[in-house]
Amino acid sequence: MIEIKNLHKSYKMGSNSLHVLKGINFSVAEGELVSIMGSSGSGKSTLLNILGILDEADSGSYTLDGLPIKNLNEKIAAQYRNKFLGFVFQSFNLISYKNALDNVGLPLYYQGIKHKERTDIAMSYLEKVGLADWAGHLPNELSGGQKQRVAIARALASNPKVLLADEPTGALDTKTSYEVMDLIQGINDEGRTILVVTHEHDIAQMTKRIVNLKDGVIIDDSKVNQVRALSNV
C-alpha cells in the first residue's frame, strides 16, 4: 500500500538547513495498523505529511497504492489525497461554524456528491462513531473525545485506503484516548490500513507494529502483541 525508499527531507531556514528525515525506508501493507513513535522533534509529523501528500521529500521515492508520488501538481495531489487518504489531527481541525454532520460531509462536498447523498453517507459514519444524536451540534458543544470521533468519521467518509492520524490522542485524557484507540482498532479490524503517530508508549502498544524514529532515522521497526484499548478500563 505504502512504500518509501531512502527518503530525505530538510527544512531551509535562511542560510541554514535542518536535515529532518535522513534516509527513511519502510513499507506498509494493506490492513496494517502501524504506529510511528518518537520524541518531539524526531520528524514524525514531517514523515506523515509527506505520506499524506501535504509535503514533498527532497529525495527518495514514495509509492502509494502502486502510484509514484512525485512532482504532482496541486490539483492531482488534492485528487489523490481525497481518493486515497483520510486525515486525523491532534487538534481535530473541525470547522467551528459547521455542525458535526456537515463537518463529516465536507470531503463528500469536495467530491461533488449531492446534498441528500452526502447527508446520508455522513450520517452513517456519525452512527459508526456513536454520535448520531449529536449530528446537529457545533464543535464547541462537543467534548474533546466527541470532536475526535467526528474527525474520524470525516476522515472515513470518503472511504480512503489509508487513514493517517497525527497524535490523535494528544489532546485527550487517558480514558478518552483509549476510547478513541478502541474506535481506531475497530476500524482496522474491518481491514482499513492505519498509521498513527504518537509519542506515547501505551498508545503505540495498541497498534500492531511500532516504527521507532529517532533524529530522522528508523532505529527499530517491530511487530507488537496488540493491547486492546478497552481491555483494562
Task: Give the C-alpha separation, 219 to 161, whole Å.
Answer: 27
Provide the grid cell at 26: 519502510
Q: Measured from the CB atom, is 20 or 165 closer to ligand ADP?
A: 20
Q: Measured from the CB atom, is 38 or 145 closer to ligand ADP?
A: 38
Q: Measured from the CB atom, is 16 or 140 closer to ligand ADP?
A: 16
Q: Indicate the SS3 state at residue 3.
A: strand
Give the range of 1-9, 28-36, 44-52, 71-79 binding Mg ion by CB under 5 A.
44-52
Residue 45 is a binding residue for Mg ion (CB under 5 A)? yes
Out of 6, 11, 78, 93, the only residue in the binding site for ligand ADP (CB under 6 A) is: 11
The binder of 38, among Mg ion, ligand ADP, none, by C-beta within 5 to 8 A per type, is ligand ADP
String marking each residue 45-64 x if it binds ligand ADP according to CB under 6 A: xx------------------
Out of 44, 118, 128, 209, the only residue in the binding site for ligand ADP (CB under 6 A) is: 44
Task: Give the C-alpha separation, 100 to 132, whole Å.
Answer: 9
Strands 162-166 and 85-89: parallel
- Considering only the C-alpha atoms of the chain, give the largest distance between any 2 of them, rounded to a whole number of Å: 54
Residue 18 is a binding residue for ligand ADP (CB under 6 A)? yes
The binder of 186, among ligand ADP, Mg ion, none, by C-beta within 5 to 8 A per type, is none
Nearest to 134, CA basis, from 158, 112, 102, 157: 102
Nearest to 222, CA basis, from 24, 35, 63, 43: 35
Nearest to 54, CA basis, from 77, 20, 21: 77
- Kindly compute the dihedral angle of the four CA atoms of residues 128, 105, 112, 88, in this order, to the nearest 10 degrees: -80
Out of 4, 20, 129, 150, the only residue in the binding site for ligand ADP (CB under 6 A) is: 20
Residue 168 is a binding residue for ligand ADP (CB under 6 A)? no
Applying CB under 6 A, the residues found at the interface with ligand ADP are 11, 13, 18, 20, 38, 40-46
Applying CB under 5 A, the residues found at the interface with Mg ion are 44-45
